[in-house]
Amino acid sequence: MLKKTTIKTIQKMKDDNEKISVLTAYDYSTAKYMDEAGVDIVLVGDSLANVALGYDSTQSISMTEMLIFTSAVARGVNRALVIGDMPFMSYNISVEDAIKNCGEMLRAGANAVKIEGCNGYILKVIKRCINSGIPVLGHLGFTPQSINALGGHSIQGKDVDSTKALLDDAKKLQEAGAFAIVLEMVPEESAKYITENLSIPTIGIGAGRFCSGHVMVSDDMLGKFSDYQPKFVRKYADMKKVITNAVKQYCKDVKSELYPAEEESFKLPMAEAIKLKNEEILC
Ligand code: KIV
């Protein structure tokens, strides 16, 4: 019997010292294969802005676009926990607006939402989500939606004081009800210290070995997105090569009339084919 992964399963994994595997997905079939391969969490990350839609920044993607991709992913997943990433400005205008948008994400098929950052306002949004039955994954460290305020892709928690400040924020998210926290681009000693001082799991990306689980952008780990590659990416496949070689071969086959072959074509019944042949002769 297929057992759906829930936020309780995720907490139990941390408590049992079992690492949590998380990957991003943006479409139905990739999500389906990931689910069948056994990933614990499928995150419909707003990284889809860059890797699937070709925008320069995650700030460009809208709520409407995120909902389309989230519902496609959710239709492909039976077992894993599906998390919808709340895009830039979809939760920053007012608490009411944020709850409405987070609710839309669950209506599209997500089991939880991810929200970046920690301040008094974000804590209010998280509390209201939890009270409305919407589980929340927090996101601290480098938070891509604040790239302009942070001044670029920069490692966070680079000394004891900033690590303590990160832990302080993480504890606030935990108290507000977040079920786990993504730590992005944090030195591994800092991520370890934060992980050991929380009861909820941490999910690292560029945060070293000691988080409760790890996430990678699927287009990075599958070698599909090649515009840039951060230090923490491990390439498990070379999809760029697979796609390029397949397309080259296809073009060659079309030009040399090797595709389509007879067995790839629909055929008339024999009698109709003969009649048509006679028509050709007559005209
Ligand atoms: O958008 C995304 O893919 C993310 C992960 C990198 C955590 O936020």
Residue 201's domain is classified under what CATH number? 3.20.20.60
| Ligand 1 pocket by Cβ (under 6 Å) | 24, 45-47, 85, 182, 205, 215, 217
- pLDDT tens-digit readout, 34-60: 999 999 999 999 999 999 999 999 999
- What is d(CA 56, CA 226) in angstroms, rounded to the nearest whole number? 14
- What is d(CA 207, CA 22) in angstroms, rounded to the nearest whole number? 14
- Same domain assignment for residues 132 and 250: no
Interval 77-97 mean pLDDT? 98
- Same domain assignment for residues 107 and 149: yes
- Name the pTM for this structure: 0.96
Residue 161 lies in a domain: yes
In the residue annotation, 184 being an active-site residue is answered as yes
Three-state secondary-structure class, residue 16:
coil
**What length is written for the chain?**
283
Three-state secondary-structure class, residue 182:
strand
Find where tokens 């802005």 sit: 49
**pLDDT category, 206, cuts 50, 70, 90?**
very high
- Same domain assignment for residues 174 and 253: no
**pLDDT category, 225, cuts 50, 70, 90?**
very high
| Distance from the alpha carbon of residue 183 to the mean position of ligand 1, in angstroms | 10
Answer whether residue 111 shows pLDDT above 90.
yes
- Same domain assignment for residues 116 and 11: yes
Q: Are 253 and 259 in contact (CB under 8 A)?
A: yes
Tell me the pLDDT of the chain averaged across its residues: 97
- Same domain assignment for residues 35 and 165: yes
- Same domain assignment for residues 196 and 221: yes
Please report the pLDDT score of residue 105 as a whole number: 98
- Same domain assignment for residues 108 and 139: yes
Residue 1 lies in a domain: no
Please report the pLDDT score of residue 280 as a whole number: 78
- Same domain assignment for residues 252 and 235: no
- Same domain assignment for residues 138 and 268: no
Find, among 88, 48, 51, the residue nearest to 72 by Cα. 48
Answer whether residue 257 shows pLDDT above 90.
yes
- Same domain assignment for residues 197 and 249: no
Please report the pLDDT score of residue 281 as a whole number: 74
- What is d(CA 21, CA 274) in angstroms, rounded to the nearest whole number? 60
Domain extent at residue 119: 7-239
Please give the share of the chain, as a percent, with pLDDT higher than 70. 99
- Same domain assignment for residues 42 and 68: yes
Q: Strand pairing partners for 215?
A: 22
- pLDDT tens-digit readout, 160-200: 999 999 999 999 999 999 999 999 999 999 999 999 999 99
Please report the pLDDT score of residue 282 as a whole number: 66
Residue 128: its H or E element:
helix 120-131
Residue 2 lies in a domain: no
E strands, the chain, where?
A: 20-24, 41-44, 81-85, 112-116, 136-141, 180-184, 202-205, 213-216
Residue closest by Cα to atom 8 of ligand 1: 45
Answer whether residue 9 shows pLDDT above 80.
yes
Residue closest by Cα to atom 3 of ligand 1: 45
Answer whether residue 1 shows pLDDT above 80.
no
| Distance from the alpha carbon of residue 222 to the mean position of ligand 1, in angstroms | 15
Please report the pLDDT score of residue 2 as a whole number: 80
Interval 214-237 mean pLDDT? 96
Determine whether 265 is exposed, middle or buried from the number of CB atoms within 10 Å of its CB (0-12, 13-18, 19+): exposed
Q: What is the DSSP string of 32-79?
A: HHHHHHT-SEEEE-TTHHHHTT--SSGGG--HHHHHHHHHHHHHH-SS
